[in-house]
Structure 1
Amino acid sequence: MLNIDVLCVGKIKERYLRDAIDEYSKRLSRYCKLRIIEVADEKTPDNASAAQEEQIKAKEGERLAKHIHDGTYVIALAIEGKMLSSPALAEKLNALALQGSSHIQLIIGGSLGIDTSILKRADMLLSLSPMTFPHQLMRVILLEQVYRAFKINAHEPYHK
């Protein structure tokens, strides 16, 4: 069984988002061992300078790095990453499993994005859309797409 970690910056405060995350986590339990690992986010002052923003991303990046394990396949969500269709994501996850990658870590950064040190460590940069979404909502979207990928790979119907 595939082990999937979702490493995220910040906690989800909105109940409706937590409920959606819980629902997809429950659905995914049939297909993989899922862990959601949250690290603390940094407060971003209003009108933060570019240097301050880089410092914030670096601190969040250090927290994320503590949870990245050697031997895992790391996929970082980044707007500049590769966009895949749902079937292509399913193919990617299937190929990783067939190649013996039993542990995949998906990384969602904070409101400023992901530190370059984490992006460089990643085996793949993935963009789910050219649009910008709140990072809290991105967690739900990512889990839904991973669930959809497992349904596709299992040749099971999924409502479109």
Structure 2
Amino acid sequence: MQKMTILCTGKLKEKFYLDAVAEYVKRLSRFCKLEIIELPEERLPEDPSPAQIEAALSKEADAVRAKLPNGCLVIAMCVEGRERSSEELARYLADSAAQGASHIVFLIGSSFGMHESLKRQAALRLSMSPMTFPHHLLRVMLLEQIYRAYQINAGSRYHK
């Protein structure tokens, strides 16, 4: 069974989103071994300077890299990434598994984004949309798309 990790910078607190995440974790348990890792977001002042943001993103990137398993396939969620349809994501995940990717890690950055070094390390930079979404909503949307991808690959009627 393929292993899937969602590695997020920032904590999910709202019950609505926690419930939605729990539902997709349950649904995905048929298809993969899913782990969600939350790392703390660096605290910044109200109006941080570019240097303060860069320092925080660098420190967050170090924490993320410390949690990345050896040999995993990294997908960075970022607005400048490539948009893919649900079918294209399903095909990418299936092709990755066929090529031996037994552990896929999706990275979700903090409210200030993700350090460029992590984006460069990723096999794929993926964007859900050119729009900006709150990180807690993106987490739910990503889980739904991963579930949809497995359903597409299984030939299910879930994806209409």
TM over 0.5: yes
TM-score (norm 1): 0.97
Question: How many residue pairs were aligned?
Answer: 160
Deviating above 2 A after TM superposition, structure 1's stretches of 4 or more consecutive aligned residues are none
Closer, same or farther: CA 159–149 of 1 in aligned 2, 3 Å:
closer
Other-structure match for 1:8: 8
1:74 partner amino acid: V
Identical positions, percent:
49
Superposition deviation, residue 68 in structure 1 = 1.1
The equivalences for 1:16-95 within 5 A come to 16-95=16-95
Q: SS of 1:23's equivalent?
A: helix
**Structure 1 stretch displaced more, 101-110 or 114-123:** 114-123
Cα deviation 1:110-152 (Å, max 9, x = unaligned): 0011111211111110001100001111100000000000000
Distance 2:12 2:75 in 1: 21
Structure 1 unmatched runs, 5+: none
Checking the alignment, whether the CA contact within 8 Å between 2:151 and 2:159 is kept in structure 1 is: no
Distance 2:26 2:120 in 1: 32
2:158 partner amino acid: Y
Is 1:113 the counterpart of 2:131? The answer is: no
Closer, same or farther: CA 78–23 of 1 in aligned 2, 3 Å:
same
Once superposed, what is the RMSD of the aligned Cα atoms?
A: 1.0
Superposition deviation, residue 159 in structure 1 = 6.0
Q: SS of 1:7's equivalent?
A: strand
**Structure 1 stretch displaced more, 11-20 or 40-49:** 40-49
Checking the alignment, whether the CA contact within 8 Å between 2:148 and 2:159 is kept in structure 1 is: no
Distance 1:150 1:13 in 2: 27
Structure 2 unmatched runs, 5+: none
Q: SS of 1:58's equivalent?
A: helix
Distance 1:39 1:90 in 2: 27
Distance 2:33 2:13 in 1: 24
Superposition deviation, residue 70 in structure 1 = 2.3
Checking the alignment, whether the CA contact within 8 Å between 2:57 and 2:113 is kept in structure 1 is: yes
Distance 2:136 2:62 in 1: 20
